[in-house]
Structure 1
Amino acid sequence: MEFRYLGNSGLKVSAISYGNWVTHGSQVEADRATECVRAALDAGITTFDTADVYANGKAESILGDALAGERREGLEIFTKVYFPTGEKTHNDTGLSRKHIHESINNSLKRLRTDYVDLYQAHRYDHFTPLEETMEAFADVVRSGKALYIGVSEWTPDQLRAGHALARELRIPFVSNQPQYNALYRIIEPEVVPTSRELGISQIVFSPIAQGVLTGKYQPGQPPPAGSRATDESGGAGFIKNLVENDDLLGRVQQLAPLAEAEGLTMAQLAVAWVLQNDNIASAITGGSRPEQVKANAEAAGKTLSAETMAGIDEALGDAVQRDGSLVGKASPGRRLV
């Protein structure tokens, strides 16, 4: 396993991290989830990413149970706060001081740990003063409940403002968690340069475009039985527009010979492509089967040739989304409860 520094900090994380967004507690039940976590550990993965909103807390609980008994100092456990959780009443959402403090306490109970290595703002909260949010994060860090602070899907301006407050408060703001893969590159124009300047790393999710870059979805063919595109409870809605785009799926098929030439599967090629960007500290991969987890981990440390990188760009062509103005659109424009 390759290890990389997280932002301008002394913390190292595994270049491949294990995430349980649409698996634990929904697509995969506890026994299989534990098998997948064991496979991740066996493959050298030490970094685990989750969130309180995943399966309304169940994903954190399953991860906590699966990691019980492991040497805590040898792990990096990440979680997030923002979306409605629990009873989902009027204060069970956002980045208010109240919600942050209650959420970290509940997350630690479910994860069966005294602290998380990274606590992340799952989105930007347009309805809470940023000063309140950052002061609450500072309280969490100073209480020892989190070691570092990060965010997810923030714009360059939001990153700058948050980072400036973090410096004033003397807390380590080290990461951003966006979606990033060979088909979706909206962070490249501004987020990555801004992050390099500030000493912030990316911890990216969906490096294989939720399975689309594996090549298993064929143009003109229905999605394979048991795939994510057929699982309404496991994220089918997130990739509907991709698996119904035959031109895009046809372009993805052109990546197969490039992967073969590199001695990789198409999924490994996609993960290795993400890791060529030196602002990426870790690529979050999941898996509903242990063998998927093991295979994804084998992409760590692979350096793709210049010819392969150019071939990927040529194959995908104008199917790639590069519009930097889309950054931040995932943050809700209304209060959710």
Structure 2
Amino acid sequence: MVNYRYLGNSGFKVSEITYGNWVTHASQVENEAAIATVHAALDAGITTFDTADTYANTGAEVVLGEALKGQRRESLEIFTKVYFPTGPMGPNDTGLSRKHIMDSVNGSLTRLGTDYIDLYQAHRFDYETPLEETFQAFADLVRQGKVLYIGVSEWTAEQLREGHALAKDLGIQLISNQPQYSMLWRAIEGKVVPASEELGISQIVWSPMAQGVLSGKYLPGQPLPAGSRATDEKSGADFIKRLLRDEVLTAVQKLKPIAQEAGLTMPQLAIAWVLQNPNVAAALVGASRPEQLADTVKASGVTLDADTLAAIDTALAGVVEDDPEATYETSPKARLV
């Protein structure tokens, strides 16, 4: 079964492997298959589920709500996000203004079929809205009981500090950040993680398998596997392209004997690796088929020894992105509509 970790400086626990439905629900897979994967996640001991209103333009929340119908609500931890455009994408259908937050949270609650959201996350930093306006809206939602905790996604160290201070002044808790993090993408280690450790903020990391590249299924100089994420425009094919360079794929193949020596599959090694970071509370995983989760959850509770970690660093030398400045390029400087 899956282990649990505290989220930030709070008493709130989440499953350290969390189910995310970014490119799967209402997009990559049919609804019946998506619901089956959620049920497989529950059977495997995953109780924490992450989505966003923008995924499939609100469709992913609908599917997740349907999949969780009938479950004991108190035994689940449901996360969603607000920022990116939704609906007809009018001038107030995006960002972190009070109007968009209030409209969005009510829509998310309806689609998810719940009275409250455990963790409500600012999906990016909004340069066009005063941060005080955003956090006052978040504080009001907490006081109304619609939201229990506040998180953010892909914020810089400085943004985390400013948001944390505002949250504290308003008497609410900012307890998490959701950044990209994997063996190949370590940009948060330089500034974001140290600031988060100081503030009592955990990371909920997305793409721990680097969009599937760390599974080892993409081979240098070979055609892309049929049906893979790299061939599906609805599943983030553009996003994965930057990782499909031969030098990256060659380095990733060097991880196979390391995984075998550790008694792990390649996906298990990738997920176990991010969970070695004590500031990481959870690794987000998705699935297009229920059986994928049976393999994934075995990464929970795994400890990688120092020799294994050193071998990973040696194998990937030269292809890792670890520049802290990369964290400053994640939030759009202007809204997308």
Give distance in 1, aligned partners of 2:295 and 2:282.
16
Per the alignment, residue 39 of structure 1 pairs with 40
**3-state SS in 1 of match to 2:25:** coil
Matches within 5 A, 1:162-201: 162-201=163-202
Per the alignment, residue 250 of structure 1 pairs with 250
Are 2:85 and 1:84 equivalent residues in the alignment?
yes
**3-state SS in 2 of match to 1:187:** helix
Give distance in 1, aligned partners of 2:242 and 2:79.
30
Per the alignment, residue 213 of structure 1 pairs with 214
Are 2:326 and 1:320 equivalent residues in the alignment?
no
**3-state SS in 2 of match to 1:77:** strand
Matches within 5 A, 1:251-290: 251-290=251-290
Per the alignment, residue 332 of structure 2 pairs with 332
Per the alignment, residue 297 of structure 1 pairs with 297
Which moved further from structure 2: 212-221 or 296-305?
A: 296-305
Give distance in 2, aligned partners of 1:284 and 1:332.
23
Per the alignment, residue 150 of structure 1 pairs with 151
In the alignment of these two chains, the number of paired residues is 336
Q: What's the offset of the Cα at 1:28?
A: 1.0
**3-state SS in 2 of match to 1:4:** strand
Q: What's the offset of the Cα at 1:334?
A: 1.5
| Letter matched to residue 230 of structure 1 | T
Q: What's the offset of the Cα at 1:333?
A: 1.3
Give distance in 2, aligned partners of 1:202 and 1:96.
24
TM-score of the aligned structures, taking structure 1 as reference length: 0.99
1:168-216 deviation per Cα after TM superposition (whole angstroms, max 9, x unaligned): 0000110000000000000000100000000000000000001000000
Give distance in 2, aligned partners of 1:331 and 1:259.
34
**3-state SS in 1 of match to 2:175:** strand
TM-score of the aligned structures, taking structure 2 as reference length: 0.99
Give distance in 2, aligned partners of 1:242 and 1:232.
16
**3-state SS in 2 of match to 1:55:** helix
Q: What's the offset of the Cα at 1:328?
A: 3.1
Q: What's the offset of the Cα at 1:297?
A: 1.2
1:90-124 deviation per Cα after TM superposition (whole angstroms, max 9, x unaligned): 10000000000000000000000000100000000
**3-state SS in 2 of match to 1:332:** coil
| Letter matched to residue 182 of structure 2 | N
| Letter matched to residue 287 of structure 1 | A
Give distance in 2, aligned partners of 1:13 and 1:301.
14
Per the alignment, residue 98 of structure 1 pairs with 99
**3-state SS in 2 of match to 1:248:** helix
**3-state SS in 1 of match to 2:282:** strand
**3-state SS in 2 of match to 1:319:** coil
Per the alignment, residue 73 of structure 1 pairs with 74
1:132-178 deviation per Cα after TM superposition (whole angstroms, max 9, x unaligned): 00000001111111100000000111000000000000001100000
**3-state SS in 2 of match to 1:327:** helix
**3-state SS in 2 of match to 1:52:** coil
Are 2:142 and 1:137 equivalent residues in the alignment?
no
| Letter matched to residue 89 of structure 2 | K
**3-state SS in 1 of match to 2:188:** coil
The share of aligned pairs that are identical, in percent, is 66
**3-state SS in 2 of match to 1:237:** helix
**3-state SS in 2 of match to 1:233:** helix
Per the alignment, residue 124 of structure 1 pairs with 125
| Letter matched to residue 16 of structure 1 | I
| Letter matched to residue 93 of structure 1 | T
Give distance in 1, aligned partners of 2:290 and 2:272.
19
**3-state SS in 1 of match to 2:189:** coil
1:255-309 deviation per Cα after TM superposition (whole angstroms, max 9, x unaligned): 0011111111000000000000000000000011111122111100000111110
